[in-house]
Structure 1
């Protein structure tokens, strides 16, 4: 459905839990300072692994407002989701108690669900892997909630009093974009009036590190964690694992205006495509991502020249960076060379399903403050990546329309267009 053919959907509340920044203010400060939150893994002994670094969030559940019972009941990623949703709701200024609960929806994205909790509980019930027949009496009482990712949406729904549609979206590393896109459609189609949407992942666990070690997707630059994530740089050697969450309050534009809400941006266009090609491989021409970008721009009724900034997937693998660069050129033409592009994964790592929503948060804050966050650690660009990747230092830059894209294992390619509601096409 066209963004102008139905109800227009806007973001009026933002919450972020990220490495180096708990809460929107600290997150944005980290990005604009160009600081990195990557370090040697502290959650467990990483020495047996090829890649021993990650971007960890300095998150204390009880200090963040969760009760001891909530902490016991929820996996770390679910805790992220609830705390971050509460920040977004407070930021929106909406009185959720005064709303019809059946018209409030929840859409949460996650790639790997409660990986951290399941890993910890397996070690407990198996006595560190010693027992073939595990002893369930050592498990937490709410272990089932760790098994089913749907518990993430349930927890957020309980936290905000939502009795409308509740959904978990799990499309790998595009989950955070797709969750927002799906939530937008719920409002456009009249299914809900308000949706709390975003994504959360806490994948920094031995099993996740081992999986990425096996395919050598993560960097082994263990001697220099701070500078290990190097998207678009010729010396990059893979991505750095991260964790975190970003959650938004989405509502219909006219309703937001009537109550005098602060509007960050309109979700003007969204599209997703699959490449039906390879579980982890990407075609070098970027055709599927380019198609997602084209459809998202068409839905937003914008042309390539309207895009002021691209928040890239920018994982820091050679395959992805070159594929993505090709997609920008294919979809935007010559305008791609005039458009600032940056990857915040250089600072907060790759939090799998959560990162798409975290990047949407960075995008709306870039619009809010007229500043483009940099690509940290970019000193020697890959000759095949020849666009303006905003190296090292943030840039003052007014943006009326931002393109945020994601690429995920399984061939998923998604694009979201965020724009000022009062924009006019050029």
Structure 2
């Protein structure tokens, strides 16, 4: 029996620069950046003092005072994005079998902001060695356990099928969607609400990345601080956000006349088993993930019309994935446009993989390849077509999106028009 095919029929996005899928795509297609000086806390003592923050009012976006009190910021993002995706899909939840509808949520750092705030509270700003737990919020356990994210999304949508959290560092956003696809393919679910969420812009996260000099120290021009593939780059810009999708079995989606953004035609993940933060320069593990994802999609290198890169803005990463594209696509890598949306929305850790899937699907929807902003002085070792500064009109029938995460995780996903996969 052939495996069931999976389609994206709903998208919801919260990203720096604007809440909602429409605002997200407007920012990308116009090549605007949402990076700025940190406003969430006093960052004057930090090496890196820029981030891509979201101007988010949870009450304005439909969360009740009780939900706001109970949920960490990242969980709030997840619920709002999931609700948008469900509304966009046109599905009537009352018509679904709740036990055949599941949830997967990706997150790298869980309830970072909530835990950071509560530690400062119970320790009296870090002055108490023996903390006073009586000052903690009643829902502190939910902050500690990332599974609460999946529970919140399930409660918000009424899904009573499989509910899972996937945490694989910065590939969590791809891997959570990939896991959901497998559940539908194997017949464990018919509909999945899948995506990821992270809100890591807090003192503890900034301190961790400062320590390893992974984030940019560029403070003079925050809007141009994220510079993937540019020879003047000096680290990534931390971001936050969430993206969720409604995934359905393709035949059922077509039967109900759903709008289909794309089919998730192929997915694979690999580990380099090499170093917690380091990457092999030849990009072999990412290339292998790409090769397997394309094989699963039954597409050749020449079929890939656009690559949505990880493009974090570190020399190590940019050169690593450039090598991976050449190794997996051969000469076609030089003819394929590549871009990094992190140049505009920063790096939201576990959330960014789903946000980049959304960008890939919308690129197919609008026949526009989003640009790599701030790319003015290309790195000579990154010699592919990185779509600098300005978006490009181009028909895209198959898109490759990739992710690379601490721990050695390398993931790849292929989105295609259903008719392209059938051909």
Does TM, normalized by the shorter one, top 0.5? yes
Aligned pair partner of 1:83 in 62, 65, 80: 80
Deviations 1:270-290 (A, max 9, x none): 000000000000000000000
Deviations 1:69-97 (A, max 9, x none): 00000000000000000000000000112
Return the match for 2:188 from 186, 191, 196: 191
Q: Secondary structure at the match of 1:423?
A: helix
List aligned pairs for 1:241-390, cutoff 5 A. 241-390=238-387
**Quick one: which of 192, 195, 207 aligns to 1:210?**
207
In the aligned structure 2, how far is the partner of 1:213 from the partner of 1:314?
Answer: 19
Q: 2:343, 2:319 → 1: CA distance?
A: 16
Q: Does 1:101 align with 2:106?
A: no
Following superposition, which runs of at least 4 residues in structure 1 exceed 6 angstroms of deviation?
none
The normalised TM-score by structure 2 is 0.99
Q: 8 Å contact 1:38–1:55 — kept in the other structure?
A: yes
**Other-structure match for 2:178:** 181
Contact 2:265 2:421 in 1 (8 A): no
| Distance (Å, rounded) in 1 between the aligned partners of 2:324 and 2:312 | 15
* Equivalent residue for 2:143, pick from 141, 146, 149: 146
Is 1:163 the counterpart of 2:184? The answer is no
- Alpha-carbon displacement from aligned partner over 1:123-149 (angstroms, at most 9, x marks no partner): 111111111111112111111000000
Given the alignment of the two structures, is residue 120 of structure 1 paired with residue 148 of structure 2, yes or no? no
Tell me if structure 1 keeps the 8 A contact 2:298–2:421: no
Structure 2: segments with no counterpart, 5+ residues: none
What's the CA shift for 1:5? 3.0
| Cα distance between partner residues in 2 of 1:247 and 1:73 | 21
Residue 135 of structure 1 is matched in structure 2 by 132
- Total equivalences in the alignment: 423
What is the alpha-carbon distance in structure 1 between the residues aligned to residue 104 and residue 323 of structure 2?
31
Cα RMSD of the aligned pairs, angstroms, is: 0.9
Q: Describe the shift of the 1:193–1:424 C-alpha distance in structure 2 as closer, same or farther (beyond 3 A).
A: closer
TM-score, scaled to structure 1: 0.98
CA distance in 2, matches of 1:406, 1:415: 6
Question: Counterparts of 1:143 and 1:95 in 2: how far apart (Å)?
Answer: 34
In the alignment, the residues of structure 2 paired with residue 350 and residue 387 of structure 1 have an alpha-carbon distance, to the nearest angstrom, of 22
> How much does 1:425 deviate?
7.5
Residue segments in structure 1 that go unaligned for 5+ positions in a row: none
Q: Distance in 2 between matches of 1:47 and 1:367?
A: 41
Q: Deviations over 1:210-256 (max 9, x none)?
A: 00000000000011100000000000000000000000000000100
> 1:424: how far off?
5.3
State the alpha-carbon separation in 1 of the partners of residues 181 and 319 from structure 2: 30
